[in-house]
């Protein structure tokens, strides 16, 4: 168990709908990362938050957005869903991205499996 | 930006044999190289990592080697067991203030009993 929790575990919805995925990082971790993993695909970085502020953006669609709250949990919002958005969505956390410091281990949650019908 | 390539994409071995997965990276400034194991229906789990000031690291049956000159690093699993069957991902990180971890495409390892 990595200490990162994600809810819900499974989500089934229809095209055009909007869903919210939730992530709680490990105790003490300030950074949260969101990744998308489509069938038989690698991990595609979506977005990173550090202590409530957006730190980096990857291949995140404009229909997707995220935020990190004062208690450090994060939510990923997916709107106007399309069939192609069906995927596993992972949240990861790390202690903090120290400027100029060494790379940090990211600890992954169990994921949310999203199915868009 | 950093680009990580991973080979092979699939690997099948007999129980007890060794398995080797290789990754190359493009940015010579990368300094942190973790390996993750992902079992079916679960999130990636860190199994071993290595930093650029070390050439090799071992943890029981798992070892990782790093060649900074050639910009490649490898995962070695000895005495493989059926429970080693999973998808393995390598990653490389520059270690700056924003996310800079790039993942390889993954290797599906099957250990046949």
Q: What is the pLDDT of residues B47-56, one digit of tens each?
A: 999 988 889 9
Cis peptide before B92 (omega within 30 of 0): no
Do residues A91 and A98 lie in contact, with contact meaning Cβ atoms separated by under 8 Å? no
The reported pLDDT for the residue numbered A105 is: 86
First vs last C-alpha separation in chain A:
31
Give the model confidence (pLDDT) of B62-106 as tens digits: 999 999 999 999 999 999 999 999 999 999 987 665 566 889 999
B3 within 8 A of B24, measured Cβ to Cβ: no
B54 vs chain A: nearest CA distance in angstroms?
A: 13
Q: Give me the pLDDT at residue A2, please.
A: 86
Is residue A3 within 8 Å of residue A27, measured between CB atoms?
yes
Most A CBs within 10 A among B23, B41, B43, hence the mutation to make, goes to B43
């Amino acid at each position: 168990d990595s200490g990162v929790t994600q809810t819900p575990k499974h989500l089934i919805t229809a095209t055009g709908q909007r869903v919210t995925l939730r992530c709680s990082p490990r105790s003490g971790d300030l950074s949260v990362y969101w990744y998308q993993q489509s069938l038989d695909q690698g991990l595609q970085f979506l977005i990173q938050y550090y202590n409530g502020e957006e730190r980096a953006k990857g291949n995140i669609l404009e229909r997707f957005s995220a935020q990190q709250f004062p208690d450090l949990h994060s939510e990923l919002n997916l709107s106007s869903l399309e069939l192609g958005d069906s995927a596993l969505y992972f949240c990861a956390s790390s202690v903090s991205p120290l400027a100029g410091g060494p790379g940090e281990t990211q600890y992954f949650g169990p994921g949310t499996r999203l199915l868009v019908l | 930006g950093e680009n990580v390539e991973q080979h092979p994409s699939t690997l099948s071995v007999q129980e007890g044999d060794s398995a080797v997965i290789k990754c190359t990276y493009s940015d010579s400034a990368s300094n942190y190289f973790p390996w993750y194991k992902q079992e079916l229906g679960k999130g990636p789990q860190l199994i071993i990592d290595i930093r650029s000031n070390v050439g090799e690291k071992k943890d029981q049956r798992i070892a990782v080697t790093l060649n900074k000159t050639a910009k490649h690093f490898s995962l070695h699993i000895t005495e493989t067991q059926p429970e080693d069957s999973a998808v393995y991902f390598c990653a490389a990180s520059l270690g700056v203030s924003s996310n800079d971890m790039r993942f390889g495409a993954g290797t599906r390892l099957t250990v046949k009993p």
